[in-house]
Structure 1
Amino acid sequence: MKTLPELGDDSVVRVSRQGGVAAIHSLSRPREIEFAQCDTGQRRRICSVLEGCLPLDSSESGRGDQRFYQIEVRSRAGETVLKVPEDQAPGDLVHLWDKGQLL
């Protein structure tokens, strides 16, 4: 199973929805979250969502017409890409993608 790199002020999380019958960029609606713009509580909640997605990561995502969420985590320590099938995505991940933030 993949692990998250250490996340600090320089970290960026990008969430997009991919796949489906027609690959239309506007439907992917990528969201980019810069940790430098987040307070400690927001960072903690985002990290919790990301850690919850680790066991859902699947290289099989996107086969056929299946949609999936692609999560790119970039930091000084490296980059991690997760692919989470849409039908298994936690509600907080969907909200993060939809609104670009958590409640």
Structure 2
Amino acid sequence: MKTLPELGDDSVLRVSRQGGVAAIHSLSRPREIEFAQCDISQRSRICSVLEGCLPLDTRESGRGDQRFYQIEVRYQSGEMVLKVPEDQAPGELVHLWDKGELL
């Protein structure tokens, strides 16, 4: 199972919704969050959401007409990509994608 790497000021989170019958780029509405712009509390909450998504990550996402959330995490020594099926996505992730912020 994947583990969340240490995320610092240089880390960037990008969340988008992918898939569906007609994959239209404008509907993916990617959100990008730079950790350098977040305070400690916000970073902690984002990391908590990401940790909750780790066990939901599956390469099966996007088959057929299934939508999924793609989470890209860029950090100092690499990148991590998670694919979370829309029907299993935690509410905090959906809100983060929809509003670009946490509850």
What TM bracket, shorter-length normalisation? over 0.9
Match of 2:27 in 1: 27
In the TM superposition, residue 2 of structure 1 has moved relative to its aligned partner by 1.3
* Residues 37-48 of structure 1 aligned to structure 2 (within 5 Å): 37-48=37-48
CA RMSD of aligned residues (A): 0.6
Q: Which whole-Å CA distance do the structure 1 matches of 2:93 and 2:77 have between them?
A: 23
Match of 1:49 in 2: 49
Please give the secondary structure, in 1, of the residue aligned with 2:84: strand
Match of 1:73 in 2: 73
List 4+ stretches of structure 1 deviating above 4 A: none
Quick one: percent identity of the two aligned structures? 88
Match of 2:6 in 1: 6
Q: Which whole-Å CA distance do the structure 2 matches of 1:80 and 1:38 have between them?
A: 20
TM-score (norm 2): 0.98
In the TM superposition, residue 9 of structure 1 has moved relative to its aligned partner by 0.2
* Residues 82-97 of structure 1 aligned to structure 2 (within 5 Å): 82-97=82-97
Q: Which whole-Å CA distance do the structure 1 matches of 2:42 and 2:77 have between them?
A: 20
Show CA shifts across 1:24-77 (max 9, x none): 011000000000000000000000000000000000000000000000000002
Question: Match for 2:20: what amino acid?
Answer: G
Please give the secondary structure, in 2, of the residue aligned with 1:48: helix
Q: Which whole-Å CA distance do the structure 2 matches of 1:51 and 1:60 have between them?
A: 19
In the TM superposition, residue 4 of structure 1 has moved relative to its aligned partner by 1.8
TM-score (norm 1): 0.98
Gaps of 5+ in 2: none
Please give the secondary structure, in 1, of the residue aligned with 2:2: coil
Give the length in aligned residue pairs: 103
